[in-house]
Amino acid sequence: QVQLVESGGGLVQAGGSLRLSCVASEPTLNSVAKGWFRQAPGKEREFLAGINWNGNTETYQESVKGRFTISRDNAKNTVFLQMNSLKPEDTAIYYCAASSLLFGEITDRYEYWGQGTRVTVSS
């Protein structure tokens, strides 16, 4: 079974940083686009960042542009989200996701999802 497992969440004060990781169980997912999403309680899931299959292209939601950076290390089956200058409104559960389209560019459709890691930013 294909699995994505996020880690790196926690409690941080406003202005601080966290680095999230997402490890895939199968190297097949190294050949697909991946993304990071977040969902706060009672709110819609929100797209944050996407990266194409080989890490050459990135895109970001406007609210995190310049603060968050998505990257990947396919040799380690891992995608990262570096989060800097965190704000209380960044508090949410963060999810990574993977497309099923081989060698794909950034997409808004994802087949595989992790279970999420919680990020809490205090004032």
Q: Give the span between the Cα atoms of 35 and 50, in whole angstroms.
A: 4
Q: Which of 5, 2, 6 is nearest to 31 (CA)?
A: 2
pLDDT, mean of each 10-residue run, the chain (123 residues): 94 98 91 96 95 94 96 93 97 96 88 97 96
pLDDT of residue 104: 87
Q: Which of 82, 88, 91, 100 is nearest to 26 (CA)?
A: 100
